[in-house]
Structure 1
Amino acid sequence: MPPNDDDQAARLERARQIGLFRYMLIREAADPSLTGRQRGALVRKLAGEEHTDPDGRRVRISRWTLDRWILEWRQGGFDALIPSPRQAQPRTPPEVFELASALKKENPERTAAQVRRILKAQLGWAPDERTLQRMFNRTGLASLQTPRQTAVFGRFEAGCPNELWTGDALHGPRIDGRKTYLFAFIDDHSRAVVGHRWGFAEDTVRLAAALRPALAARGVPQYIYVDNGSAFVDSWLLRACAKLGIKLVHSAPGRPEGRGKIERFFRTVNGEFTVEIASAEGEVGREIRDLAEMNRLFTAWVETVYHRREHSETKVAPLERWMAGAPFPVPAPGDLAEAFRWSEHRNVSRTGTVSLQGNRYQVDPQLVGRKVELVFDPFDLTYLGVRIDGKDAGTALPFQINRHSHPKARPEVPAEQPKPTTGIDYLGLIDREHAADLSSKVNYVALAGGQPAEPVEAVDLTED
């Protein structure tokens, strides 16, 4: 039975995730400015460490594999690191996975190997240990462990501004009955707030609204450290960081160490800013009318209060400490716009068309049968750039447009429901226009010094 479109899209997405994992791993070692000795030291260091793959497993990558990935990246760019998605269908019946999940939930201390032994004893057959472990990681069952003693970590601080930014989201008060969320990024060295944005959703669009202006105004950091929230693991963020040369680091599930500074900042926000907002009728505080006012007031608080006050730990004002490393190079507007576009891969049909979110587009007939990358602004699906092997291949011309924006690109303010009447007084408009027209006419008789003509008495033409 051939795979459906959803299965094919899932395999393509997994292949891109693997490609991004490989790129983020070799990015520093592949730097052309390194000498052979420096590159060899970095590769040996990477080969000696464990890394978290897209399935959440801790894996080791051999030096030979890392060298091969670096060579492939040099020869073919990012696309060369994306593996070909497998076409095979899953061979493990769903009921076996359900039984394995039940065994794991029954006793979280059971390892994948132990669950396999039980399945084999019960059914006479069982999938291999790695298949079960991948399933446990994918469904979150791997985190069901008996609490153990927490490891002790020393204090860490980046050595200079823009070396490390930490990002997170804060659940805020309700505005006009809707819950708000704050996306913020702080510089680890100075504790300066480099980017922020209040919004009505905790999604990728609102995250981009906080990060993109930060990169344009504050420069590009070496690292961005975030958690595993859905907005922070979206493929668009991985693509943006890869395009700008930023190494994106996610904290291990259940291990929030390293995000203490931004959590401390959020406590300050709650204690000094959101506490002054009236989140319900009758509460003491300022009533916020809309998000524009919320963001304007928050920017004023950050720039005039938080940034200029001595930090309790560094003993220096955050803005002063961040400016000590200035100036910082900022990306060109074209490079920044390219980094924040979204992309998806599609196969060109025999008719020279591709489909995206229910829309159909016409591409160059020479691309028939090939897999292309469609690059687009999520808010405008009427224009798509076409790339193949990382090179420009023209544009996709709209053929049939059913959706003008990506489903994830939801606006801050939902569209209002149509009203039964417009409230327009058409006759009143005509009357006012006529009165204005009369008042603007010139009285030539008065200008000539003559007497105004007597008004003409109306005559009833219906009389005999």
Structure 2
Amino acid sequence: MAVKNPSIYLKMKVLGAIDIAPGRTRDQRVRSVAEMTFLDEEGNQYRFTWRTIQTWYYRYKNYGITGMDASPRADKGKPRKITPEEVLEAINQALPHFRQKEPDKNKNHTWPPNKTAIYRFCIEKGLLQANQIARNTFSRMVEKYELLKPDPSESNKRRLAFSMQYANQLWQADTMFGPHIGGKQTKLIAFIDDASRVLCHGEFFLEENTDTMIRALRSAFYKRGLPEQLLVDNGSIYCSQEITLICARVGCILRHTAVRDASAKGKIERFFR
């Protein structure tokens, strides 16, 4: 079956097969992969010519996963050091502090507090790093994505309960701020199984980056096996090239929720409470 624009998931799945395909040289292994059939996210079967696979291989080798697509970057014009999801998470951690100082929001108080005050609090408490996001960038992001505006659809949005039938069909993953240790904010990375509600793995780290995410994901795989799907938000560690490649190689579909839709991962959010 021909496909005009294969997904990154499908391309990485094809490239992941090169390492285990029969053949002494890479060219022989690429030709062997061209004889294989691959399934996309929807279960459709595809085969690709060895020239196409070779082109993908060289693009990935020279430009990384962002070079796999000939179209312009999807994040053009957007900040690449920090995502709106991470900024929103920091804001949600900071707002209770201002609510305690201003218990009566109806008496000559400005609510929500101004963006500069929130930004300074986030920097002081280590919720954000000044080298990741400047104050002006923070203000622009808050205005563009309306991060301080209550979401009127959230209270009226109808959430239908759903659950997978079997264990390991779907995992949910997320990060939560933990206690301060030695003056540093810890982060909890956790995975929960959708069907059984079993905590596959949870671990505190002093740093939230790709390396710690890989360590946590590896531990979850060793404990509970491989899930068919992994549901995460749009945080930078969940959108990284390494995690996308790992999921593609093990045959796990990596799914992302919409921005500001934490309820989509209701089970892991409930666990964090």
Q: With structure 1 as the length reference, what TM-score do the two structures score? A: 0.31
| Structure-1 residue corresponding to 2:65 | none
- The runs of 5 or more residues in structure 1 that have no matched partner are 1-17, 44-66, 93-138, 268-464
Secondary structure of the residue that 1:209 maps to in structure 2? helix
Q: How does 1:305-320 map to 2 (within 5 A)?
A: none
| Pair 1:72-2:48 in alignment | yes
User: Is residue 189–residue 216 contact of structure 2 (8 Å, CA) maintained in 1?
Assistant: yes
Q: CA 1:214 to 1:25, structure 2 compared with 1: closer, same or farther past 3 Å?
A: closer
The residue number in structure 2 matching 1:212 is 218
Cα contact 1:156–1:258 (8 A) shared by 2: no
**What is residue 145 of structure 2 aligned with on the other side?**
143
Conservation of the 8 A alpha-carbon contact between 2:172 and 2:268:
yes
Q: Given that residues 12 and 245 in structure 2 are in contact (C-alpha distance below 8 angstroms), is that contact kept between their aligned partners in structure 1?
A: no
After superposition, the Cα gap between the structure-2 partners of 1:178 and 1:83, relative to the gap in structure 1 and judged at 3 Å, is closer
**1:231 is aligned with what amino acid?**
I
- RMSD of equivalent CA atoms: 3.8
Deviation, structure 1 residue 195: 1.6
Q: Confirm or deny: 8 A CA contact 1:196 1:211 kept in the other structure.
A: no
C-alpha distance 33-206 of structure 1, shift in aligned 2 (>3 A): closer
Displacement of 1:216 after TM fit? Answer: 2.2
1:177, CA displacement in angstroms?
A: 2.5
Measured in 2, the distance between the counterparts of 1:236 and 1:42 equals 24
Specify the code of the residue in structure 1 equivalent to 2:8: L
User: Larger RCO: Structure 1 or Structure 2 (Cα < 8 Å, ≥ 6 residues apart)?
Assistant: 2
How far apart are 1:260 and its partner, in Å?
A: 1.2
Cα deviation 1:64-115 (Å, max 9, x = unaligned):
xxx8xx44378744926923477xxx9x9xxxxxxxxxxxxxxxxxxxxxxx
Q: Quick one: which amino acid aligns to residue 221 of structure 2?
A: L
Letter in 2 for 1:191: R
Cα distance in structure 2, aligned partners of 1:205 and 1:33: 29
Q: Which amino acid counterpart does residue 167 of structure 2 have in structure 1? A: P
Q: CA deviation at 1:193?
A: 1.1
The whole-number CA distance in structure 2 between the counterparts of 1:208 and 1:162 is 18
1:232 and 1:83, CA in 2 relative to 1: closer, same or farther beyond 3 A? Answer: closer
User: What corresponds to 2:8 in structure 1?
Assistant: 20
CA distance in 2, matches of 1:76, 1:152: 44
CA distance in 2, matches of 1:73, 1:192: 42
Structure 1 match to 2:206:
200
1:161–1:188 contact (8 Å) kept in structure 2: yes
| Residue number in structure 1 paired with 2:267 | 261
Residues 319-356 of structure 1: per-residue CA shift (max 9 Å, x gap): xxxxxxxxxxxxxxxxxxxxxxxxxxxxxxxxxxxxxx
* Counterpart secondary structure, 1:197: strand
Q: Which amino acid aligns with 1:83?
A: D
CA distance in 2, matches of 1:201, 1:73: 42
Q: 1:208 to 1:222 in 2, by over 3 A?
A: same
Q: 1:74 to 1:182 in 2, by over 3 A?
A: farther
Call closer, same or farther: CA 1:248–1:75 in 2, change over 3 Å: farther
Change (3 A) 1:157 1:175: same
Partners of 2:218 and 2:43 in 1: how far apart? 30
CA contact (8 A) 1:251 1:257 kept: no
Structure 2 residue identity aligned to 1:72: F
1:149 counterpart letter in structure 2? S
Q: Compute the displacement of 1:232 (Å).
A: 0.9
- Paired residues of 2:167 and 2:193 also in contact (CA < 8 A): yes
Structure 2 gap segments, 5+ residues each: 1-5, 15-35, 60-67, 78-140
Give identity over the alignment, percent. Answer: 29
* Greater gyration radius: 1
2:85 is the counterpart of 1:83: no
| Cα deviation code 1:406-434 (max 9, x no counterpart) | xxxxxxxxxxxxxxxxxxxxxxxxxxxxx
TM-score by length of 2: 0.51
In structure 1, the partner of 2:176 is 170
CA offset digits 1:241-288 (Å, max 9, x no partner): 011111000101122233111111111xxxxxxxxxxxxxxxxxxxxx
For 1:244 and 1:216, the matched residues in 2 are separated by 13
Secondary structure of 1:229's counterpart equals coil
Count of residues in Structure 1 that have an aligned counterpart in Structure 2 = 167
Q: Which amino acid is 1:236 matched to?
A: E
Contact conserved, 2:262 with 2:269, CA < 8 A, in 1?
no
